[in-house]
Amino acid sequence: MTYAGNPENLRDIENNPRYKFIKGDICDEKLVNEIISSEKPDGVINFAAETHVDRSILDSYSFVKTDVLGTQTLLDVSKKYNVSRYLHISTDEIYGSIEKGSFSEESLLNPSNPYSASKASADLIVKSYFITYKTPVLITRSSNNFGPFQYPEKIIPLFITNLLENKKIPLYGDGLNIRDWLYVLDNCQAIDLVFHKGKEGQIYNVGSGNELTNLDLTKLILETMGKDEKSIEYVKDRPGHDRRYSLDYTKIKKELGWQPKYDFKKALIETINWYKENKDWWQKIKSGEYLEYYKKQYLER
Ligand code: DAU
């Protein structure tokens, strides 16, 4: 439950008997011990991370703490209680930037910013537990996700919500950096498949083949929302800004039969519509009201 955690995202499953929310920190070994020893899970899937590159450039402490030490805590406790499946959610950012071609699972890790360096460290620690202790780990490395409920600090929800508020949209540098856009439900399906069918100790890239420059992505959002390029504000570039991410995801296609199902443009339009229809959700966040609510609900209890 950091600033980006939001119980409203899980409202629809809140009363499901198979769901339980325990507020805690993945670095809290005592609590993680209590949970794993009492709940006896079939598996552990670690989505918990500090994820936003710009925040990591301002202050990297929480990134090293949660992404690296949190991962190590979960691994140690999972090892202790012989959890039979441990899936780590990693990212394409750990490979760093690539001008031409695509990274395979065998490519060297070459992260450029504190966030991706923290995720690369976690990824290596997870792999080392398989080699050293035979902990049954699996890793997915996916490309940029987008879809409903995404915190409006990432480019797509930030730009959509700014445009809905008639604000400018800040495009970094020359806008020609390239990202590969993966719809969130495609990523969920890949994660579910790897968790159930993946081979222990293996890494799976999860890409979508939807590579776009930020400028082309921005133009698509503007066009869909009936706006023009006057809304773009070119701002100072992100330090250490990776030029291009690109994944070769042949392995998950060949070995597990996964491939992305969602059409990028349709999914983007649906995402824009979701933000149009769920103003309450993001306005609370952007106005800081949610942070107040969050403090009351979770910090002051
Ligand atoms: O590649 C997977 C990664 O995608 C995940 O591991 C990260 O957790 C996630 O944050 C995301 O990282 P990016 O840095 O690629 O995402 P972000 O949405 O911050 O930025 C996407 C691109 O858009 C990037 O080239 C920077 C640019 N950008 C971003 C923002 C927030 C802008 O031009 N303006 C902006 O205001």
Supply the pTM of this predicted model: 0.96
**83 phi/psi in degrees, rounded to 5:** -60, 135
Tens of pLDDT along 14-29? 999 999 999 999 999 9
Q: Is the pLDDT of residue 293 over 90?
A: no
Task: Determine the average pLDDT of the residues in 258-282.
Answer: 98
Given pLDDT bands bounded at 50, 70 and 90, which one contains residue 202? very high
Task: Determine the average pLDDT of the residues in 217-240.
Answer: 97
pLDDT at 299: 56
pLDDT at 53: 96
pLDDT at 41: 95
Separation CA 180–CA 114 (nearest Å): 21
Given pLDDT bands bounded at 50, 70 and 90, which one contains residue 301? very low
Q: How far is CA 280 from CA 121, 147, 276, 284, 290, in A?
A: 37, 17, 10, 6, 10
Q: Are strands 211-213 and 44-46 parallel, antiparallel or unpaired?
A: unpaired
Separation CA 174–CA 195 (nearest Å): 39
Q: Is 92 a catalytic residue?
A: yes
Separation CA 65–CA 106 (nearest Å): 27
Q: How far is CA 153 from CA 3, 44, 123, 174, 257, in A?
A: 11, 27, 24, 19, 33
Which one of 67, 93, 123, 242 is the catalytic residue? 93
Q: Is the pLDDT of residue 295 over 70?
A: no
Percentage of the chain lying above the pLDDT 90 cut: 93
Domain ranges, ordered by start, for the chain: 7-299
Q: Are strands 86-91 and 211-213 parallel, antiparallel or unpaired?
A: unpaired
- 64: which DSSP letter? I
Percentage of the chain lying above the pLDDT 70 cut: 96
Q: What is the mean pLDDT of the chain?
A: 95
Tens of pLDDT along 64-73? 999 999 999 9
Task: Determine the average pLDDT of the residues in 46-53.
Answer: 96
Task: Determine the average pLDDT of the residues in 75-90.
Answer: 98
* The CA-based dihedral angle spanning residues 209, 52, 4, 280, taken in that order and rounded to the nearest 10 degrees: -60
Q: Is the pLDDT of residue 182 over 70?
A: yes
List the single range of 2-6, 69-73, 116-120, 224-228 with lowest mean pLDDT.
2-6
Evaluated on CA atoms 188, 193, 195, 201, the torsion sign reads negative
The identity of residue 39, as a single letter, is E
Token pair listed for 212: 């776009």
Residues lining ligand 1, judged by CB closer than 6 Å?
51-53, 91-93, 143-144, 154-155, 158, 170-172, 177, 179, 214, 238, 245
* 121: helix, strand or coil: helix
CB 265 within 8 A of CB 193: no
Q: Is the pLDDT of residue 48 over 90?
A: yes
CATH fold for the domain made of 7-299 = Rossmann fold (3.40.50)
Closest CA to 147 of 186, 189, 177, 179: 186
256: Cβ–Cβ under 8 A, 6 or more apart, which residues? Answer: 193, 194, 197, 198, 204
Q: Is the pLDDT of residue 297 over 80?
A: no
**Among 155, 217, 238, which residue has the most ligand 1 atoms within 8 Å of its CB, making it the best to mutate?**
155
CB 200 within 8 A of CB 136: yes
pLDDT at 288: 81
